Amino acid sequence: MEVITRPSAKHAVDLVARLLADRIRAKPDAVLGLATGRTMERIYEQLAGSDVSFKRCRSFNLDEYIGLLPEDVHSYRHYMHTHLFSKVDIVAANTHVPDGSASNLKEAAERYERLIEESGGIDVQLLGIGEAGHIGFNEPLSSIMSRTRDKSLTPTTRAQNAVMFDGDVDKVPKRALTMGVGTILDARELILLATGSAKAAIIAQAVEGPITSMVSASAIQLHPCCKVIVDEEAATQLRGRDYYDFVFEHEPEWECYRN
Ligand code: F6R
């Protein structure tokens, strides 16, 4: 794992957007794992404004609320359409979001896993982190081997996401269909972005704490190719900060990304 701290949220976002654009340029038919949430909005804004072509890409989103139709303005399908899909040249049929409105959720989850497998697997998975330590909607006690399935959301997550439901926590669905931790770990590369002081404590636990299903993001420590990109505010509780900065300053891989 590499942990990179950038001076501001904007610098952190710029770096992640550049990394993703470079991955797509290097492999125009890349299979992308995408995330939603406020942190990701700025990434999609940058990608939509870039010259990178998504024409041959396929995408799989991490999660979707259960009970919301794709056209619901609060659904993650709608979020993706608004922030990215409608703004780039990706082929709509090649974009996938778990079907939270399916009558048979188990079947929908199994179909999603099959589709990912048939696509050849995810090349690069973008991740945010929830204040309860989730990646996707893998709330505490999610098995590190879990696959796509339905999951009950914690009060912390519902409170965190209320802002996207007119500030009304009662409007936030109670369950979601989410890729499992095991599904996420199968991606060939993970890039996790966290910004702001509200993420400082959980980032330190995920990166430096024990690997535990109580903090599903800690499972990223098991991944052989994982980058965690944070801003100064999210980095304040990292104990190994000096070493992480040293690696970023000296590893040849990062040379073209330092400025
Ligand atoms: C959503 C998702 C979540 C978010 C996380 C952070 O698809 O996967 O894990 O990334 O809840 O959300 P924000 O960016 O709104 O703080």
pLDDT the model gives residue 239 = 98
- Residues lower than pLDDT 50 in the chain: none
Specify the pLDDT at position 230. Answer: 98
Nearest CA to ligand 1 atom 11: 130
Runs of H (alpha helix) within 154-251:
155-161, 181-185, 200-208, 241-250
Q: Which two tokens stand for residue 25?
A: 């340029």
Mutate to test the pocket of ligand 1, among 129, 158, 190, 202 (most ligand atoms within 8 A of CB): 129
**pLDDT value at position 92?**
98
> What's the confidence (pLDDT) of residue 49?
96
CB-ligand 1 contact for 63 (6 Å cutoff): yes
Pure H helices in the chain: 9-26, 38-48, 76-80, 105-118, 155-161, 181-185, 200-208, 241-250
Pocket of ligand 1 contains residue 139 by CB under 6 Å = no
- CA 44, 50, 51, 52 dihedral sign is negative
The minimum-distance atom of ligand 1 relative to the CA of 35 is: 7
Domains of the chain: 2-257 (3.40.50.1360)
CB contact at 8 A, 80 and 48:
no
| Residue 62 near ligand 1, beta carbon < 6 Å | yes
Report the pLDDT value the prediction gives residue 259, as an integer from 0 to 100: 78
Dist CA 80 CA 63 (whole Å): 11
Cα separation of 188 and 224, whole Å? 9
Structure tokens at 58: 């396929």
Report the pLDDT value the prediction gives residue 48, as an integer from 0 to 100.
97
Cα–Cα nearest to 211, from 202, 201, 222, 203:
222
Sequence-distant (≥ 6) Cβ neighbours of residue 103 within 8 angstroms: none
Token digits of residue 174? 């109670």
Nearest residue (by CA) to ligand 1, atom 2, is 136
Distance 250 CA to ligand 1 centre (A): 31
